[in-house]
Amino acid sequence: MIRRKFLQLLAITSGSAFSSIDALASALRKTLVLQVKGFTCITCATGLDTLLGKEKGIYSSHSTYPEGRVTVEYNPDVSSEKAIREFISGLGFTVESAHQA
């Protein structure tokens, strides 16, 4: 939270393109792409997206059943790759690999 406040003040005082809170929040987003094993149907993918979307710090999630790929946009000040991987694993899926996009 302190980091976010610092960036807000910096943006406002510098007159940069980050003068709005939306632009600042967008700059703080990270995208994580995970290869997930265990999807048996489209409902697995959409259900995972729904549950991830309710987690604190997650902006969006898009899962594809045939490829077993999950793309997550998140706020790194609130969540982390480790927390996202653990959440997905806790639901019974196996995260095989992950990389930042």
Residue 62 CA to residue 75 CA, distance in Å, equals: 16
Q: CATH number of the domain at 29-100, please?
A: 3.30.70.100
Neighbours of 44 (CB within 10 A): 18
pLDDT of residue 100: 86
Inter-CA distances, 15 with 9, 12, 18, 101, Å: 10, 6, 8, 29
pLDDT of residue 67: 94
Length of the chain: 101
How, if at all, do strands 94-100 and 69-74 pair? Answer: unpaired
Give residue limits of the domains in the chain.
29-100
Provide block-wise average pLDDT over 10 residues at a time, the chain (101 residues): 61 56 70 95 94 95 95 95 96 91 77
